[in-house]
Structure 1
Amino acid sequence: MVLVTGGTGLVGAHLLLHLLQNNTKVRAIYRDGSNLNRVEKVFSYYTENASGLFGQIEWVLADINDIPALDIAFKNIDYVYHAAAMISFDPKDYYKLKKANVQGTANIVNLCLSNSINKLCYVSTIGAIGKSLEGQKANEKNDWAGQDANVYALTKYRAEMEVWRGSQEGLDVVIVNPGVIIGPGFWEQGSGNLFTTAYRARDYYPPSGTGFITINDVVKIMVELMQSKIINQRFIAVSENMTYKDILTRLANAIDKKAPSKMLRFWQLHLLRFFDFFSSSITGNKRRITKKTINSLRNTEIYDNGKIMEMLGFEFENLDECILFCSERFREEYP
């Protein structure tokens, strides 16, 4: 049986669907208050048997820092996909991020070791990959500098250290470092905000760019790595490197909205950061723009996907087709 953490998120929901459609017995953990209905909704995007497949999931109420509940979830498990994480770029959330992403991953690794799990797949981020230098593509061997990282990337990198620690203690592992994941169903968070931004037809776009990948490619890479003999390796999962202007233009065209035409200047970004700081102080909402967020936009990051293509012979799906599919789902839910 396979255990999936983070089963109510974008990656977890699509992973569960993929596993179920391939007749894999799955167990998934969820936290109190999680929206399980959204998982079934995601299933409905792809199959008419959404309810039937959803009903095959063995759900266990557990937090990744709740050891007794995790002990129950790990019973009779052979493989583990660890996709659970807290996502925030707000510096004041650092200790919460550390507890969820670092300590939570340490717990998963320890339970994998104590339960003799065959293999663990950890979903990290390209934020934990070292920066690209002098126009060259960043690869899995690039040096990583923590002083330049935002709090989310910092804790994901430290979570990777827990996974590598597990590999040194005898656990077979693989790590996937996805770029910005394009997928449907989570419009108010993560990459889903890109569709919301495009829908609002803003005039401005951020400078710089990064790597992007479809949700289906992320899931396929995870599953193929777990089914392979590859162990103790990490893989960049990026199908295209592009600017934010490019991705927002492609999204806007797909949902019949005006594409952005003006690049945000850095003085404007710092002004927005100022207002964002005071708004967060008053409302308690998470900060969205920090110094490190702005500094990350000064250079366009480009990533090398050659390792995953060479070792798995992986072929990426067409990103525009995924954008069109997601846009159709977005318009159905926000007519």
Structure 2
Amino acid sequence: MKVLLTGATGLLGVHVAGELLRQGYDVKAVYRSFPRQMDKLPWFTEVEWVKAAITERADLEKAVDDCQAVIHAAARTDPYPTDLAAYYDVNVGSTERLLEIVRKKEGVRLVYVSTASVFRPGTLTNPATEESPYAFNLMASGYIASKYEAQQRIVSAVQQGVDAVVVNPTFMLGPYDFKPSSGAVIRYVLQNRAVFYPGGGGKSFVDVRDAARATVNALRMGRTGESYLLASENIPYDRFFPLLAQLSGRKKSLFRMPVPLIQMAGGLGSFGERVFRRGFPMNRINATLVTQENYYSGEKARSELKMPASPVSRAIEEAMQWFGA
């Protein structure tokens, strides 16, 4: 079976490509440009690379033509600006185009990579599940709003007969983060002796290779119309950043940033966005996201998609080695 993969140059996409090959699939991957040194990947030459724009229907039609399944992992993931319009064509429009193409081909399964953030997060004692309500209180984030809108397109398409499954990764860590994306937090700790981190909240983390395994397994094991949270360990920032410092093997000075101070900075950032009409890294919604509890359960994915539960510390260590710690 040949699988079309979008987003193949991103952190998850790189590992999905490798996992597809490991499981015996033929892989056709869409790319816009290659990050530096990506051609050093062990499996780079085993992939059929196709230069295409996911915003162009003709490009997608040509790419899907000889494929029997699609994994749609491409997305704009920047945490700012807050404007939904900045994300719409890439995150929602590309999904709509792929659904239109898949509808015309019989027997094609689509695995859509969404984000855990579309679900309202839970607490350490009661983490969110796939049955949790959507995070309508967080839709001020253009990224979250766009992924929610795209996921709803999938839900509607399934009701019309499309064979599609959704996976919702949490915060992924691991090697081969070329851009980098989530690995930026690891690089930040590696490159700075003084480390500032939020004085409240935490995240749900997952080894990107476990997330990739579950994503590929969804091709065979995922139930049509279902969503699967790809979550492993829920870790408060008070534990996570000291763990990063410890695993770096270097002396670090850790400073907890008071939550009210972060929220104040977020308010100023949102004011700056209105005045200067451009995105600011810290705005009101991002201040909320980095200081709240963002905890999810991956029990369903472990049960139905056979997602492994590797220690997040191992993913951190191997990411640090890859970044050159």
Query: Please, what TM-score do these two structures have when normalized by structure 1?
Result: 0.87
Partner of 2:96: 106
Does residue 252 in structure 1 map to residue 242 in structure 2? Answer: no
The one-character-per-residue Cα deviations of 1:47-103 (angstroms, maximum 9, x if unpaired) are xxx2xx322322222111201111110111101000000012223552120111111
User: Deviation at 1:329?
Assistant: 1.3
| 1:221-240 equivalences in 2 (<5 Å) | 221-228=214-221, 230-240=223-233
Could you tell me whether the CA contact under 8 Å between 1:245 and 1:260 is conserved in 2? no
User: Deviation at 1:283?
Assistant: 10
| 1:20-169 equivalences in 2 (<5 Å) | 20-31=21-32, 34-35=33-34, 37-41=36-40, 43=41, 50=42, 53-91=43-81, 93-132=83-122, 135-149=125-139, 150-169=141-160
Partner of 1:214: 207
The one-character-per-residue Cα deviations of 1:108-131 (angstroms, maximum 9, x if unpaired) are 111111222521111111111123
Separation of aligned partners in 2, 1:134 and 1:55: 43
Partner of 2:317: 324
Which structure has more RCO (C-alpha within 8 Å, separation ≥ 6)?
A: 2
Separation of aligned partners in 2, 1:282 and 1:13: 39
| 1:306-317 equivalences in 2 (<5 Å) | 306-317=299-310
Could you tell me whether the CA contact under 8 Å between 2:123 and 2:293 is conserved in 1? no
Alpha carbons of 1:234 and 1:249: their partners in 2 closer, same or farther (altered >3 Å)? same
Selected match of 2:176 from 180, 185, 206: 185
Partner of 2:283: 290
Does residue 202 in structure 1 map to residue 194 in structure 2? Answer: yes
| Range 62-71 or range 264-273, more displaced | 264-273
Separation of aligned partners in 1, 2:179 and 2:250: 18
In percent, how many aligned pairs have the same letter? 24
Alpha carbons of 1:74 and 1:187: their partners in 2 closer, same or farther (altered >3 Å)? closer
| Range 211-220 or range 161-170, more displaced | 161-170
Separation of aligned partners in 2, 1:78 and 1:154: 30
Separation of aligned partners in 1, 2:282 and 2:166: 28
Separation of aligned partners in 2, 1:75 and 1:188: 29
Partner AA of 1:202 in structure 2: A
Separation of aligned partners in 1, 2:69 and 2:11: 20
CA RMSD of aligned residues (A): 2.5
Separation of aligned partners in 2, 1:323 and 1:216: 12
Separation of aligned partners in 2, 1:125 and 1:169: 23
Separation of aligned partners in 2, 1:323 and 1:297: 19
Partner AA of 2:58 in structure 1: P
Partner AA of 1:100 in structure 2: V
Unaligned runs of at least 5 residues, structure 2: none
Could you tell me whether the CA contact under 8 Å between 2:214 and 2:306 is conserved in 1? no
Partner AA of 1:193 in structure 2: A
Separation of aligned partners in 1, 2:291 and 2:46: 47
Could you tell me whether the CA contact under 8 Å between 1:67 and 1:107 is conserved in 2? yes
Alpha carbons of 1:327 and 1:145: their partners in 2 closer, same or farther (altered >3 Å)? closer
Alpha carbons of 1:315 and 1:71: their partners in 2 closer, same or farther (altered >3 Å)? closer
Aligned to 2:250, the other structure's residue is in SS state coil
User: Deviation at 1:323?
Assistant: 1.5
Alpha carbons of 1:318 and 1:147: their partners in 2 closer, same or farther (altered >3 Å)? closer
User: Deviation at 1:155?
Assistant: 0.7
Separation of aligned partners in 1, 2:7 and 2:212: 13
